[in-house]
Amino acid sequence: MVRAAAKMLKSSTSDTGSKGPTLVTRRAGIDDYSTIRHIQSSAIRSQADKLLDDSEVTVATRAVYSPAYSAELFLKTVHVAILNGDLVGTCAWGPSDDRGTAARISALFVAPLFQGNGIGRRLIEDVERDATHNGFSRFTATVPVSLVPLFAALDFVTASFGTSRDIIPDVSLQVAFLKKP
């Protein structure tokens, strides 16, 4: 059933409840967090051959299930993508600076089966709307280099490249530091 929904999503743009699949985004509820961590862990493992060695995958997967990571997620406003009732993606935002003018977009993960179907884009657009509604006028993001094209399509520009341990604790990743004026 899930594979059929992924195939339908690729061939259909309907999100209105018509014959195609229904994709909705919303703020995460407390009951979503177990599934959120599962999706994030699965997405990390699916991209591991491009980003991480075996020991880093183990560290990253453990980190996603740690109490410290959960506590950090609770400090952010997390949004989820729901496809035909199943949670398939996550994205979060929180203040980027003490002045309260920039929001940092983070925790963008899409279940491996559904990557490349526009779900990440929908999630980014959703968190941007929410942050704007809450008074933020600028956006930043620190993302793996592989996600730069997605963010660039949404008018983010690359400020610089480097390494960061902010995405996955205890794992250093090659990243792009992005901003959207």
Those residues of the chain that have pLDDT short of 70 are 1-19, 48-50, 166-170
Q: What is the pLDDT of residue 1?
A: 41
Q: What is the pLDDT of residue 9?
A: 53
Q: Spell out a b/e string for 4-21, using b for 16 or more CB atoms within 10 Å of the CB, else e.
A: ebbebbeeeeebeeeebb
Q: What is the pLDDT of residue 181?
A: 80
Q: What is the pLDDT of residue 169?
A: 63
Q: What is the pLDDT of residue 93?
A: 97
Q: Which CATH superfamily is domain 22-137 in?
A: Gcn5-related N-acetyltransferase (GNAT) (3.40.630.30)
Distance CA 116, CA 125 (A): 16
Its pTM stands at 0.84
Q: What is the pLDDT of residue 8?
A: 46
- Tell me if 76 sits within 8 A of 94, measured CB to CB: yes
